[in-house]
């Protein structure tokens, strides 16, 4: 029996740093696409912990693997080898086409921190001491550490933490002229999300990534793709960049959210010759690649491959999009696979619709003031998709009623 909502809120208020604007619900259990709150109410979870639980909650294979590993070996230091970390790195490298090396971390921000440090080392080794600048885009989100915040193109998130590390600048997303003007001989890397996630689910327009790749090659800058939210099946392909066609191969790819299905883990993959810019001692994190988290991730990837989750995400995303587009109050649906934004139009109040959905048992979130984000489990069933659409329709109706 869990504590009551009021008891949870009281202890939270007294002891947890108030960094999160919390919503008035406390979850205590999950199973597949369902979440249960402290009062015993069930919800259809179409957010998956912000695109993290891509196999749904409490996936039995992941739960069994974590329990087994917890009884076997949770952690040793990276001073030593362990038997799980290299297997996970091997699998990620295979998914990315091979010829790379992987650094394992604990979060998306940490994976990006690794990518930025690596790009600086590589840039300075090949282009001299001035080649350490990173160009990213407005509307991007790369994390909340000081360095990843400096790369994040959202001035309102940066304001209260100035001065941030130097060497970062942003240009408008999808503006190739602005990018070409910003990338010069001091640029070690261009850093992008194939679909901007926290910025409002903004997919890169057709041809954009290929052109960015060309600019990077021409100016000898690395292309870092932040696939923390888009990676591992979410967009209907293993990686978001795969939508851009064969010609676009990134130099560095970061991943996190879906990798552990909720067990904290992040990964930075880089082409082997780039990864070689790091010497032993250059970068480290105590928990990175520990057997417990690595075993969870290895199992997640095994299930994803067995279930062909990219194809399932593409199919479910198409069904969801087709059902939502005609709903009254919906202006457009954007995104790919199961990373979707439902745009409600200029005068709308997405937060009010989010609340009306929650009252009716559906979890989504207002990713912008006028758009809802949908990112359910990639194993979501057709019946669950239809149920979510019916709740969304009722919520839109309730909010629009005079």
Ligand X SMILES: Cc1ncc(COP(=O)(O)O)c(C=O)c1O
Catalytic site includes residue 37: no
The Cα 50–Cα 72 span in angstroms is 30
Q: Which is nearer to ligand X, 50 or 323 (CB)?
A: 50
226 is catalytic: yes
Packed helices 382-400 and 309-324: angle between N→C axes, nearest 10 degrees: 30
Q: How far is residue 40's CA from residue 60's CA, in Å, rounded to a whole number?
A: 22
Between residues 56 and 143, which has the closer beta carbon with respect to ligand X? 143
**Which residue of the set 103, 141, 239, 241 is catalytic?**
141
Report in angstroms how near the CB of residue 167 gets to ligand X at its nearest.
18
Among 37, 45, 113, 226, binds ligand X (CB under 6 A): 226
Instruction: State how far the Cα of 326 lies from the Cα of 330, in Å rounded to an integer.
Output: 7
> Contact letters (x/-) for ligand X, 12-41, by CB under 6 A?
------------------------------
- Do residues 291 and 83 lie in contact, with contact meaning Cβ atoms separated by under 8 Å? yes
Q: Rule CB under 6 A: say whether 107 interacts with ligand X.
A: yes
Buried b (16+ CB within 10 A) or exposed e, 95-117: bbeeebbbbbbbbbbbbbbbbbb
Q: Does 141 bind ligand X (CB under 6 A)?
A: yes
Bridge-based pairing state of the strands 252-255 and 168-171: unpaired
**Partners of 36 in beta bridges:** 29, 42
Residue among 284, 254, 283, 282 nearest 269 (CA): 254
Work out which of 37, 113, 198, 384 binds ligand X, going by CB under 6 A: 198
**Of residues 38 and 235, the one with the C-beta less far from ligand X:** 235
> Which of 213, 190, 188, 182 lies closest to 126, judged by CA?
188
Residue nearest to ligand X (CB): 108
Site membership for ligand X, residue 203 (CB under 6 A): no
Helices (H) and strands (E) counted in the chain, each on its own, are: 14, 17
Chosen residue from 47, 114, 149, 256 binding ligand X by CB under 6 A: 256
Name the segment binding ligand X (CB under 6 A); options: 94-102, 136-144, 233-241, 339-347.
136-144
Among 109, 171, 244, 275, binds ligand X (CB under 6 A): 109
| Touching ligand X, residues 176-195 (CB under 6 A) | 193
Which segment (89-97, 108-116, 322-330, 393-401) binds ligand X by CB under 6 A?
A: 108-116
**Residue 262 binds to ligand X (criterion: CB under 6 A):** no
CB of 51 to ligand X, least distance (A): 7
Please tell me what DSSP assigns to residue 32: B
**Catalytic residue at 27?**
no
Spatial strand order in the sheet of 332-336: 332-336, 339-343, 371-374, 365-368
User: Under rule CB under 6 A, which residues in 36-65 are in contact with ligand X?
Assistant: 50
Number of residues that bind ligand X (CB under 6 A): 15
Q: Which is nearer to ligand X, 37 or 198 (CB)?
A: 198
Min separation Cβ 226 and ligand X, Å? 5
**Helix 291-307 and helix 309-324, axial crossing angle in degrees, nearest 10:** 70
Element (H, E) at 42: strand 42-45
The catalytic position among 37, 45, 226, 251 is 226
Alpha-carbon distance of 18 to 308, in angstroms, equals 40
- By beta-carbon proximity to ligand X, the closer residue of 193 and 251 is 193
Residue selected from 32, 56, 108, 310 as contacting ligand X according to rule CB under 6 A: 108
Compare residues 118 and 356 and give the one whose CB is closer to ligand X. 118
- Compute how many other C-beta atoms are within 10 angstroms of the C-beta atom of residue 65: 21
Stretch of 21-29, 40-48, 222-230, 376-384 contacting ligand X, by CB under 6 A: 222-230
126, two tokens: 């090949």
Tell me if 250 contacts ligand X by CB under 6 A.
no
Secondary structure string (H, E, C) spanning 50-61:
HHCCCCCECCHH
Measured CA to CA, the distance from residue 372 to residue 350 in angstroms comes to 6
For the CB of residue 4, give the shortest distance to ligand X in the complex, in Å.
Answer: 29
The site for ligand X (CB under 6 A) is made up of 50, 107-109, 112, 141-143, 193, 197-198, 226, 228-229, 256
Kindly list the catalytic residues.
141, 226, 257
């Amino acid at each position: 029996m869990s504590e009551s909502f009021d008891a949870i809120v009281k202890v939270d208020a007294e002891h947890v740093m108030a960094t999160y604007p919390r919503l008035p619900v406390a979850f205590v259990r999950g199973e597949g696409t369902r979440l249960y709150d402290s009062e015993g109410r069930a919800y259809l979870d179409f957010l998956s912990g912000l695109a993290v639980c891509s196999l749904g909650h409490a996936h039995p294979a992941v739960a069994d693997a974590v329990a087994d590993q917890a009884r076997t070996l949770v952690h040793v230091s990276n001073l030593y080898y362990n038997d799980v970390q290299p297997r996970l790195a091997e699998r990620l490298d295979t998914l990315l086409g091979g010829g790379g090396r992987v650094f394992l971390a604990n979060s998306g921000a940490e994976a990006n921190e690794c990518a930025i440090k690596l790009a600086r080392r590589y840039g300075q080794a090949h282009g001299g001491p001035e080649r350490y600048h990173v160009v990213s885009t407005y509307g991007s989100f790369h994390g909340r550490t000081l360095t990843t915040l400096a790369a994040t193109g959202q001035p309102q998130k940066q304001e209260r933490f100035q001065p941030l590390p130097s060497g970062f600048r942003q240009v408008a997303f999808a503006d190739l002229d602005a990018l070409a003007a910003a990338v010069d001989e001091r640029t070690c890397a261009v850093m992008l999300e194939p679909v901007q996630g926290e910025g409002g689910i903004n997919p890169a327009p057709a041809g954009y990534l290929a052109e960015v790749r060309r600019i990077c090659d021409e100016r000898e800058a690395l292309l870092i793709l932040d696939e923390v939210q888009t990676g591992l099946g979410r967009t209907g392909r293993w990686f978001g960049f795969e939508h851009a066609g064969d010609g676009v191969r990134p130099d560095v790819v970061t991943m996190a959210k879906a990798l552990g299905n909720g067990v904290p883990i992040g990964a930075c993959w880089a082409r082997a010759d780039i990864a070689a810019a790091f010497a032993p001692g250059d970068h480290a994190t105590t928990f990175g690649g520990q057997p417990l988290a690595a075993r969870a991730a290895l199992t997640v990837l095994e299930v994803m491959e067995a279930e062909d989750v990219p194809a399932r995400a593409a199919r479910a995303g198409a069904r969801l999009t087709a059902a939502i587009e005609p709903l009254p109050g919906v202006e457009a649906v954007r995104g790919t696979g199961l990373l979707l934004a439902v745009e409600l139009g200029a005068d709308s109040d997405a937060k009010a619709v989010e609340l009306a959905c929650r009252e009716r048992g559906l979890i989504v979130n207002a990713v912008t003031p006028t758009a809802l984000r949908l990112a359910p489990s990639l194993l979501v069933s057709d019946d669950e998709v239809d149920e979510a659409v019916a709740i969304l329709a009722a919520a839109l109706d309730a909010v629009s009623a005079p």
